[in-house]
Copies of this chain bind each other. A is one copy, B any other.
Amino acid sequence: MGSCRNGVVSGGSNGEIGGGPTVDKGVDFANYFCTYAFLYHQKEMLSDRVRMDAYFNAIFENKHHFQGKTVLDVGTGSGILAIWSAQAGAKKVYAVEATKMSEHARTLIKANNLDHVVEVIEGSIEDVSLPEKVDVIISEWMGYFLLRESMFDSVICARDRWLKPTGVMYPSHARMWMAPIRSSLGDQKRNDYEGSMDEWYRFVQDTKTSYGVNMSVLTKPFSEEQKKYYLQTSLWSNLHPHQVIGTAAIVKEIDCSTATVNDVLEVRSNLLSSITGERTRLCGFGGWFDVHFRGSKVDPAQKEIELTTAPSMDDSTHWGQQVFLLHPPIHVSEGDDLNVSFSMNRSKENHRLMEIELSCDIRQSSGNILPPFSNRFYIE
């Protein structure tokens, strides 16, 4: 699920959850969970038609997975997936939610006359105890560019502890995609950065003149801080398909029934993309994801449903896409080939945020090879 931008904070650390030393729960709550306790935030996600339709159809077009079965909803939020699971005929649904939103879920479930089927449990899925294993694990865990928030770790944990060997994951598969894009955001952010530096130089001058303190030694760290903020931090955007100027490539494929935390700790990929736009500017890359509800090999879906967050005119989602900007943009033409080396890891300070290294070779359609470039990005 998309989330409002969490601030960057040190003080937390990666966990056995998170793939490193223990994540402090209080810090994790302050950094991450807290936004989900707000009804306003839940409503944002519940108002995402594409998201809602996908899960609704995935469930109700595949009732055989739910009728008479036991279900676990990881991160139930308002309880919507648990409610649909029960309405689709589940015998029992465990709806786990870490925040006080669980109380609203309980209220909602009772008001919809499903409290005899759905049991809301407040707590982290890593900590709670269920009385039995389940036939289905359903969860809407996807963050920006799929893995921001690292919530999939919790789904893996739930699967390993609570899914029967014959059980089914909803969704069953997930993929990360990237494509070269054009965007006016690059110019905007470049201007913002330069405006910020102009202001800084005036500030240094004033502080020297008025207050007798020479702050010029801080220019370098200030510019690095501002560069990171304006130029290197990925942006949320709702891209128009026309902004995609080259072929999209799969960065990562995940089988939700077998993936381990290790599989998603680091995402490394080589991508090939051909420019399809005619004499245009490569302003950066757009990243998005899709998930599929295919059931399992032994118990497949009757109707396979897809939820995609690819750039779309009519079917945009609250996730938008993540935009990684290049400064300056690069002039490219139809037929130019990009060879992109992509590497994404979790931030040391906060395992729910990401750091990316992206290198790119461009072979122009003429055969000429442009000098390669390398950029660091942050998903905050």
> Which A residues contact B (CB, under 8 angstroms)?
7-12, 24-27, 29-31, 33-35, 37-40, 43, 46-47, 52, 56, 78, 80, 83-84, 87, 100, 104, 107-108, 110-112, 196, 200, 203, 207, 210-218, 221-222, 225-226, 229
Contact = CB atoms under 8 A, between A and B. Distances in A.
Contact of A11 (B11, B26, B111, B221): B26
Nearest to A60: B212
A305 B366 CA distance: 72
Contacts of A87: 212
A34 B56 contact: no
Contacts of A83: 213
Nearest to A215: B108
Q: How many copies does the complex hold?
A: 2
A40 B223 CA distance: 10
Contacts of A47: 203
A22 B332 CA distance: 58
20 contacts: A7-B34, A9-B30, A10-B100, A24-B24, A24-B26, A26-B26, A27-B27, A27-B30, A39-B218, A39-B221, A40-B226, A40-B229, A46-B203, A46-B215, A52-B210, A52-B211, A56-B211, A83-B213, A84-B212, A108-B215
Nearest to A216: B111
A111 B217 contact: yes
- Chain B CB count within 10 A is highest, among A30, A33, A52, A214, for A30
Nearest to A223: B39
Nearest to A217: B111
A26 to B, nearest CB: 4
Nearest to A99: B10
A112 B203 CA distance: 16
